[in-house]
Amino acid sequence: MLLGTQKINSRNHLEIGGCDTADLAAQFGTPLYVMDEQSIRERCRTFKQAFDREYGCSNIAYASKAFIVTAMCALVDQEGLWLDVASAGELYTAKCAGFPMDRIVFHGNYKTADELEMAVELGVKYVVADSFMELELLSAIAEDAGKTQEIMLRCNPGVDPHTHRLIRTGQEDSKFGFNIKNGTAMKAVKQALDCRGIKLSGVHCHVGSQLFDLTPFTEAAPVMIEFIKQIKDETGAPIEVLDLGGGLGVRYLEEHNPPSIDEFAKTVSEAIITACAASDIEKPGLMLEPGRSIAGEAGTTLYTIGAPKEVNIPEEPGVKTYLPVDGGLSDNPRPALYDALYSAILANRAGDAPTKAYTVSGKHCETDMLIPNVLLPEAKTGDLLAVQTTGAYNHAMASNYNRFTRPAVVFVADGKADLVARRETLEDIVKCDVLPERFKGSQTKA
Ligand SMILES: Cc1ncc(COP(=O)(O)O)c(C=O)c1O
């Protein structure tokens, strides 16, 4: 499968954004995250246009947890989207990129006092409150600062999204949100309305991630709309914004067929509009927070292949061939975390027919299986492997496990490649280490 601007060029190489991947690997080294800028921009625009057409009065906030560097924040700003951040680090990155604070939504099930102070001081538009303690703390912080902080309440609509257990969030048993059905959310509304320094502007839910079935959204929408009506009836407070979070799935494998953004916008908008009519309320402003569906398919990771290793497995017929690559768990923990599956292309012989099954393994001291089974042309040491759909939750989740240096990230467009995150160096690896005086010198102590 070829995604976004990917194509096979006259050198039989995989090309992305008009850049030959073999040239990118030679210039920037591997592993390398390659982000297809046009694909990201098109998805930002499609989200905006689709929701404007189907719903009107909507704001799309890119969920930066999927992939964030300062250049991504700047791109999102250029496209006129909002930004969802979920930590001081993400907020700081947005600040460094000059992202307008009045288009930022600040999330997290446990925000520290320092994070709340930072959010208030910088003037983020909405803090999405997720506990009674946070309401108290935020109220005090905003009052001390002489400000009124707009908030949304993270609600739990009690909807099971039927996705991997680690990316399910909207079901009853969840650490996130105030439960609507058991009355906790209404208690939180009343507390928020009583708090000085806080203005309750919206309600929020996020049911889960990598969803192909839109039913969880159409189930959550009426629950949230009914809750907005209940708030109005019980307290008189108008809720201006409904934020339905992110969650739209993307294509990792050829056989994956996620709903299009247009389909998603139509289905979600209709569900909300229908629910508003049934509850006899005016439709609120709408916010969405797509992450994976903006960045996921735009990313490709390039690896250099090591020495293929054939292994005879007694219980299985034939031979298994391990294909080691120069990265793995530290640049992509998703296979280990979620049993996530990926597609791959032999980038330097991209048009050759696939003839052999490989198990792509990383080079970490774990099983570190990147792809359990992928068909490729016969691969040799030094070939280039392009693992697709690595734009979301890869660079963002990367670690220094085994003291690996995190790979560089390039944005490619119109035949040009721009470095947006440099590769870490060995010096970076030890830059936070502190060697106390008594450990200096190298005498062995008996
Ligand atoms: C509150 C919230 N919004 C948005 C997202 C983005 O989800 P996705 O990347 O599936 O679109 C998440 C993901 O965890 C989230 O927790």
pLDDT band at 443 (very low <50, low <70, confident <90, very high): confident
Pocket mutation for ligand 1, best pick of 43, 44, 47, 65 (most atoms within 8 Å of C-beta): 65
The model's pTM is 0.96
Within 13 A of 180's CA, how many CA atoms are on the CB side?
24
Ligand 1 pocket member 63 (CB < 6 A):
yes
Average pLDDT rounded to a whole number, residues 184-202: 97
Distance 62 CA to ligand 1 centre (A): 9
Predicted confidence (pLDDT) at residue 249 exceeds the cutoff of 80: yes
Show the domains of the chain with their CATH numbers: 7-35+297-430 (2.40.37.10), 107-290 (3.20.20.10)
- Integer CA distances (angstroms), 329 to 91, 339, 364, 366, 367, in order: 26, 12, 7, 8, 9
Predicted confidence (pLDDT) at residue 169 exceeds the cutoff of 70: no
Within 13 A of 94's CA, how many CA atoms are on the CB side?
32
Short-list 159, 245, 129, 153, CA closest to 203: 153
Instruction: Look up 365 and say whether it is catalytic.
Output: yes
Predicted confidence (pLDDT) at residue 357 exceeds the cutoff of 80: yes
Ligand 1 pocket member 216 (CB < 6 A):
no
Ligand 1 pocket member 206 (CB < 6 A):
yes
- Higher pLDDT among residues 317 and 398, named by residue: 398
- Alpha-carbon distance 10 to 128, whole Å? 50
Per annotation, catalytic residue among 73, 96, 276, 365: 365
pLDDT at 166: 64
Residue listed under structure tokens 């930022």: 104
Distance 224 CA to ligand 1 centre (A): 17
Strand partners, 288: 60
Ligand 1 pocket member 333 (CB < 6 A):
no
pLDDT at 319: 86
* 247 Cα nearest atom in ligand 1: 10
Gyration radius of the chain's alpha carbons: 24
- Integer CA distances (angstroms), 236 to 228, 281, 284, 386, in order: 10, 13, 15, 56
Q: Measured on CA atoms in the order 181, 184, 186, 189, is the torsion positive or negative?
A: negative
- Higher pLDDT among residues 444 and 257, named by residue: 257
- Alpha-carbon distance 125 to 114, whole Å? 17
Q: Residue length, the chain?
A: 446
Task: Pull the structure tokens for residue 84.
Answer: 């969802």
Pocket mutation for ligand 1, best pick of 206, 250, 395 (most atoms within 8 Å of C-beta): 206
Give every CB contact of residue 190 below 8 A, 6+ residues apart in sequence. 235
Ligand 1 pocket member 107 (CB < 6 A):
yes
- Integer CA distances (angstroms), 90 to 13, 87, 235, in order: 35, 5, 35
Average pLDDT rounded to a whole number, residues 354-374: 94
Q: What is the mean pLDDT of the chain?
A: 95
Reported as a single tens digit per residue, the pLDDT across 56-100 is 978 999 999 999 999 999 999 999 999 999 999 999 999 999 999
> Which residue has the CA at smallest separation from atom 5 of ligand 1?
246
Task: Pull the structure tokens for residue 298.
Answer: 């735009």
Task: Pull the structure tokens for residue 404.
Answer: 């690996």
Q: Give the H/E segment covering residue 263.
A: helix 261-279
DSSP-derived secondary structure letter, 173: S
* 66 Cα nearest atom in ligand 1: 9
